[in-house]
């Protein structure tokens, strides 16, 4: 309850920071060139505040990603025992996530939310895109410590996944390592919360500087980003989840969406997959009739690693940032976004705003300016609601499909006390 209250008030503060920043920027913008006070003091001060916020976000990435992925991978349970169900679940999670990013990228290319923003200073910063084979080869680290030091995110993620799974095979002694990373991950989440507490000021400063340079013309692109993410989420749920349920469960999409609506709505409002998990499990068991065995493995795993909405959002936002900063992204670069965003969404914690932190990972590994975070942060809460709703709904769809392919008949099985 307390954290929910805190979340709401942070959300409110970020929105206020965003609006005030735009107001200040728009009012101050025309005066800056003629005022040594504004150009010599206020703008540099705002720049400093914004950059400190961005640097603190960057500081979180390596330890947060490493520890949370080790814990996520280890939460798979005993891979041998889970065998077939585990493989099926993970394959479905990965495929639906990749499709979600593809939808996000398609909408980003189609709607072009960032085109025309012309934010200067970053043109030409994109890494030259590598052939896909090289991208694939490059994700395996020869020296993981070197990858950590250099912040090579793909290599860090691959090593962390190996580490988590290997820790499981190592039995009791491995569990101690996982427990240590669990503790580190907790500390990193708490550090994330502290730094997110600075978001209203960071967002205020960053957007004020941007608005002072570019005026009100920056508002339309934000509306387009929101539209792209919401349309993408609706398409993904309407096409992919409906399709899966119809094909595998022999049930109508309407029946399925009705069955999980409490979980979907709670996810939208709380913006937390983890927080929604108890309701997700209850809906899937009571309204869809999935067994306890399957739901208690598939759903907690999904709340940790399956984030279709987050992945879709990262696709849209990566293109938005690239367009806003005038950085061209060719086909190869967009393909590498699919790989990075799939992995990033696996490492995203099911808590409000986590996807924004992971967006820094997608941006840096694609060679896009991390300043883009400052653009997205102001509207992130609105995007978070839609993406969390899809994250949770996606878990339930995969759970229903896994149950159906394991021979379960999906019929309501309400065990709630009358």
Stretch of 63-71, 222-230, 317-325, 380-388 contacting ligand ASP, by CB under 6 A: 380-388
90 versus 311: smaller Cβ distance to ligand ASP? 311
- Of 236, 251, 271, 285, which one interacts with ligand ASP (CB under 6 A)? 271
155 versus 314: smaller Cβ distance to ligand ASP? 314
- Of 147, 334, 365, 388, which one interacts with ligand ASP (CB under 6 A)? 388
- Rounded Cα distance between 399 and 401, Å, is 5
Closest CA to 344 of 354, 357, 332, 358: 358
Place of tokens 């914004």: 50
- Of 326, 353, 369, 394, which one interacts with ligand ASP (CB under 6 A)? 353
- Of 336, 391, 393, 396, which one interacts with ligand ASP (CB under 6 A)? 391
| Contact mark string toward ligand ASP, 301..320, x via CB under 6 A | ------x--x----------
74 versus 303: smaller Cβ distance to ligand ASP? 303
92 versus 267: smaller Cβ distance to ligand ASP? 267
DSSP 241-301: IHHHIIIII---HHHHHHHTHHHHHHHHHH--HHHHHHHHHHHHHHTS---HHHHHHHHHH
**Element containing residue 99 per DSSP (H, E):** helix 79-111
- Of 221, 355, 378, 394, which one interacts with ligand ASP (CB under 6 A)? 355
Contact between 387 and ligand ASP by CB under 6 A: the answer reads: yes
101 versus 209: smaller Cβ distance to ligand ASP? 101
- Rounded Cα distance between 32 and 208, Å, is 12
Contact present, 329 and 126 (Cβ < 8 Å): yes
Contact present, 48 and 348 (Cβ < 8 Å): no
- Of 295, 348, 360, 365, which one interacts with ligand ASP (CB under 6 A)? 348
Where in 88-107 is the site for ligand ASP (CB under 6 A)? none
Contact present, 119 and 326 (Cβ < 8 Å): yes
Output the smallest distance, CB 72 to ligand ASP, in A: 13
- Rounded Cα distance between 190 and 176, Å, is 21
Contact between 273 and ligand ASP by CB under 6 A: the answer reads: yes
Output the smallest distance, CB 383 to ligand ASP, in A: 8
- Rounded Cα distance between 327 and 303, Å, is 34
- Rounded Cα distance between 350 and 146, Å, is 29
Q: How many residues bind ligand ASP (CB under 6 A)?
A: 16
Contact present, 107 and 318 (Cβ < 8 Å): no
46 versus 73: smaller Cβ distance to ligand ASP? 73
- Rounded Cα distance between 344 and 69, Å, is 9
310 versus 336: smaller Cβ distance to ligand ASP? 310
Stretch of 8-16, 167-175, 269-277, 360-368 contacting ligand ASP, by CB under 6 A: 269-277
Place of tokens 């590994």: 365
50 versus 355: smaller Cβ distance to ligand ASP? 355
Output the smallest distance, CB 352 to ligand ASP, in A: 5
Contact present, 225 and 218 (Cβ < 8 Å): no
- The residue number with the shortest CB distance to ligand ASP is 355
DSSP 328-357: ---HHHHHHHHHHHHHHHHT--SSTTHHHH
Closest CA to 71 of 177, 209, 215: 177
Contact present, 202 and 53 (Cβ < 8 Å): yes
Output the smallest distance, CB 217 to ligand ASP, in A: 28
283 versus 310: smaller Cβ distance to ligand ASP? 310
Contact between 352 and ligand ASP by CB under 6 A: the answer reads: yes
- Of 129, 147, 272, 283, which one interacts with ligand ASP (CB under 6 A)? 272
Output the smallest distance, CB 55 to ligand ASP, in A: 21
- Rounded Cα distance between 109 and 323, Å, is 9
Which residues contact ligand ASP (rule: CB under 6 A)? 271-273, 307, 310, 348, 350-355, 384, 387-388, 391
């Amino acid at each position: 309850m307390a954290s929910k209250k805190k979340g709401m008030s942070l959300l409110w503060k970020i929105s206020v920071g965003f609006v005030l920043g735009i107001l200040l920027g728009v009012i101050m913008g025309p005066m800056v060139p003629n005022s040594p006070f504004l150009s010599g003091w206020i703008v540099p001060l705002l720049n400093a505040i914004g950059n400190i916020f961005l640097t603190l976000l960057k500081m979180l990435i390596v330890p947060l990603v490493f520890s949370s992925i080790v814990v996520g991978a280890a939460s798979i349970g005993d891979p041998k025992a889970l065998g077939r169900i585990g493989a099926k679940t993970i394959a479905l999670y990965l495929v639906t996530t990749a499709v979600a990013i593809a939808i996000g990228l398609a909408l980003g290319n189609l709607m072009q939310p960032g085109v025309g923003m012309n934010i200067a200073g970053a043109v030409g910063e994109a890494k030259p895109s590598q052939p896909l084979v090289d991208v694939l080869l490059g994700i395996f680290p020869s020296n993981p410590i070197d990858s950590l030091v250099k912040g090579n995110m793909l290599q860090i993620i691959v090593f962390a996944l190996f580490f988590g799974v290997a820790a499981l095979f190592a039995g009791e002694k491995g569990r101690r390592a996982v427990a240590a990373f669990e503790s580190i991950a907790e500390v990193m989440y708490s550090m994330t919360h502290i730094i997110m507490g600075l978001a209203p000021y960071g967002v205020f400063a960053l957007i004020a500087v941007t608005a002072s340079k570019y005026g009100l013309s920056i508002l339309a692109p934000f509306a387009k980003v929101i539209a792209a993410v919401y349309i993408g989420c609706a398409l993904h749920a309407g096409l992919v989840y409906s399709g899966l349920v119809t094909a595998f469960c022999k049930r109508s999409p309407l029946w399925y969406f009705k069955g999980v609506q409490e979980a979907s709505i709670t996810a939208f409002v709380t913006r937390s997959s983890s927080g929604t998990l108890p309701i997700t499990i209850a809906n899937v068991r009571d309204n869809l009739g999935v067994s306890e065995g399957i739901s208690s493995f598939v759903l907690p795993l999904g709340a940790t690693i399956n984030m279709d909405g987050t992945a879709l959002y990262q696709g849209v936002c990566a293109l938005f940032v690239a367009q806003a900063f005038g950085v061209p992204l060719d086909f190869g670069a967009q393909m590498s976004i699919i790989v990075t965003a799939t992995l990033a969404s696996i490492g995203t914690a099911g808590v409000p705003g986590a996807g924004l932190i992971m967006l820094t990972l997608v941006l840096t590994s694609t060679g896009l300016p991390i300043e883009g975070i400052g653009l997205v942060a102001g509207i992130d809460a609105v995007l978070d609601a839609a993406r969390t709703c899809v994250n949770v709904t996606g878990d339930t769809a995969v759970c229903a499909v896994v149950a159906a392919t394991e021979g379960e008949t999906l019929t309501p099985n309400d065990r709630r006390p009358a």
